Amino acid sequence: MEVEVDLSHRARDLADEIRRRPRGLWRWREFLPVESPGAVVSLGEGDTPLVRSGRLSREAGVERLYIKNDTLLPTGSLKDRSVTVAIARAREVKAEAVAVSSTGNHAASVAAYAAAAGLPCVVMVPAATAAGKVLQARVHGATVIAVDAPYDQTAALFREALKAFGWYSCLSSNPWRNEGKKSYAFETWEQLDGEAPDWMIHPIAGGLGVAACWKGWRELRQLGWTTRIPRLVAAQASAAAPIVAAFEAGQDDVTALTAGPTVAESIAVGLPALGWHALRAIAATDGVAAGASDEEILHAQSLLARTTGIFCEPSAAASLAVAITLRRRGLIRPTDLVVCVATGHGLKQPEAARPSAPLHRIEPGLAAVETALTRSDAHPLNTPRPSGGSPWP
Ligand SMILES: Cc1ncc(COP(=O)(O)O)c(C=O)c1O
């Protein structure tokens, strides 16, 4: 099921109204299927920065490369865009408890918004999920069930539990919830002054990232606010890439596979719930699905951190990794306008990062500081100042 929002009669006055409203995802409320403003629970989600860095562009060989920094959403991941709408809808239908199965980020987000809404919350995650994400859900007071199984089995168990216990589901089979995710397309359109990127690249697990982006751009086109729609790219970890496999085989639906181990744990899904929908979005926009190895993902994570100051989790770096691959393949041209979505914060899974700078552990003493600085040859401060005194140059 998909929600259809009728916007046709509002085309003219809506743009000015939205532009004048305070920042945040709910500026776009006419596009979202929530009827009672009082049901909305906002943690300040939306309007994340669209960052351009000359150094990153040079390294990647793409002049106009932008990062949509969704690591800055309230719980540190993309999920807040859809969960704020899911929880508003849950309140509208007077749900008694909300629930989700998750590779980690979705659980943290539902737990946080449920806490703000005062709703009981149950989340199920694979037991091997990064500790930070599980901790987030627990800190917000959710009932956290860690299943000794990978995600696909956890999700199957969750669907059984949903039937048994009747919770309000925040899964991507909930079409209301999915509508919130469109907002990153709207924001990008506005941040680029109405220009449609040539490519938008999203790390993909269940498939919503590209499906919702496609719907968002179609709605903008329906209003006459854009004529072009970007080519959409699903970026997956090569070890868990059912959408890439289906795309390469020319299928219009995915075949379930067993997700192999990957550092991109948030997108390690073998049976994507919206795989068919993602494939439709890719086909309709002349897009691509492409995989990245763990090595390429970790390289992209480090490159992003060193050149832009954005620290994202490995899954989130899959979009940049795939941008670099598509540039190498010649599919992305050096002058193309490319937007990569960074979907989750690096501090959610810090143990995976490979910092480029060593840690200098020393005994307290100035001589040891000097030795550390001398060893750190990349450091611009490794020449001690001639004498003490004022810190000002
Ligand atoms: C960090 C991160 N990026 C991307 C995704 C993929 O989301 P989608 O369900 O839209 O494919 C997830 C999903 O859990 C995620 O946690």
For residue 72, the CA-to-ligand 1 centroid distance in Å is 15
Any atom of ligand 1 within 6 Å of the Cβ of 269: no
Span 355-387, pLDDT tens digits: 989 999 999 999 999 999 998 765 555 444 445
Question: Which pLDDT band holds residue 267 (cuts at 50, 70, 90)?
Answer: very high
For residue 333, the CA-to-ligand 1 centroid distance in Å is 26
What atom in ligand 1 is closest to the CA of residue 105?
Answer: 16
Q: Which of 61, 74, 143 is nearest to 107 (CA)?
A: 143
For residue 100, the CA-to-ligand 1 centroid distance in Å is 14
Q: Span 177-203, mean pLDDT?
A: 98
Any atom of ligand 1 within 6 Å of the Cβ of 209: yes
pLDDT at 393 over 60: no
Which of 77, 158, 201, 244 to mutate to test ligand 1, by most ligand atoms within 8 A of the CB atom? 77
State how far the alpha carbon of 62 is from the alpha carbons of 57, 259, 328, 332, in Å: 5, 31, 10, 8
Q: What is the structure's pLDDT at 383?
A: 46
Among protein residues, the one with the nearest Cα to ligand 1's atom 9 is 206
Q: What is the structure's pLDDT at 377?
A: 60
Q: Span 49-58, mean pLDDT?
A: 97
pLDDT at 277 over 50: yes
For residue 221, the CA-to-ligand 1 centroid distance in Å is 26
For residue 70, the CA-to-ligand 1 centroid distance in Å is 11
Three-state SS for 99? Answer: strand
**Distance separating alpha carbons of residues 76 and 83, to the nearest angstrom:** 13
pLDDT at 75 over 80: yes
Q: Span 84-91, mean pLDDT?
A: 98
What atom in ligand 1 is closest to the CA of residue 344?
Answer: 1
Any atom of ligand 1 within 6 Å of the Cβ of 279: no
Any atom of ligand 1 within 6 Å of the Cβ of 77: yes
Any atom of ligand 1 within 6 Å of the Cβ of 105: yes
Any atom of ligand 1 within 6 Å of the Cβ of 274: no
Q: Exposed e or buried b for every residue in 99-126, given b needs 16+ CB within 10 A?
A: bbbbbbbbbbbbbbbbbebebebbbbbb
Span 329-359, pLDDT tens digits: 999 999 999 999 999 999 999 999 999 899 9
Any atom of ligand 1 within 6 Å of the Cβ of 76: no
What atom in ligand 1 is closest to the CA of residue 348?
Answer: 1
Q: Span 276-297, mean pLDDT?
A: 98
What's the whole-number average pLDDT of the chain? Answer: 94
Q: What is the structure's pLDDT at 210?
A: 98
Which of 72, 82, 204 to mutate to test ligand 1, by most ligand atoms within 8 A of the CB atom? 204
Any atom of ligand 1 within 6 Å of the Cβ of 270: no
For residue 374, the CA-to-ligand 1 centroid distance in Å is 42
Any atom of ligand 1 within 6 Å of the Cβ of 340: no
Which of 267, 269, 347 to mutate to test ligand 1, by most ligand atoms within 8 A of the CB atom? 267
| Low-confidence winner among 116-120, 122-126, 140-144, 380-384 (lowest mean pLDDT) | 380-384
Q: Would you state the structure tokens that stand for residue 210, as one six-digit string? A: 């590209």
For residue 46, the CA-to-ligand 1 centroid distance in Å is 16
Any atom of ligand 1 within 6 Å of the Cβ of 208: yes
Q: Which of 197, 194, 180, 288 is nearest to 241 (CA)?
A: 288
pLDDT above 70 covers a percentage of the chain that reads 96
Q: What is the structure's pLDDT at 8?
A: 75
- Name the region of 98 (left: φ>0; alpha: ψ -120 to 50; beta: rest): beta
Q: Span 118-127, mean pLDDT?
A: 98
pLDDT above 90 covers a percentage of the chain that reads 91
DSSP state of 65: E
For residue 123, the CA-to-ligand 1 centroid distance in Å is 16
User: Roughly how many angstroms between the first and final C-alpha of the chain, as a whole number?
Assistant: 64
Which of 78, 282, 301, 348 to mutate to test ligand 1, by most ligand atoms within 8 A of the CB atom? 78
Question: Which pLDDT band holds residue 66 (cuts at 50, 70, 90)?
Answer: very high
**Strand-pair partners of 292:** 237
Question: Which pLDDT band holds residue 160 (cuts at 50, 70, 90)?
Answer: very high
Q: What is the structure's pLDDT at 13?
A: 81
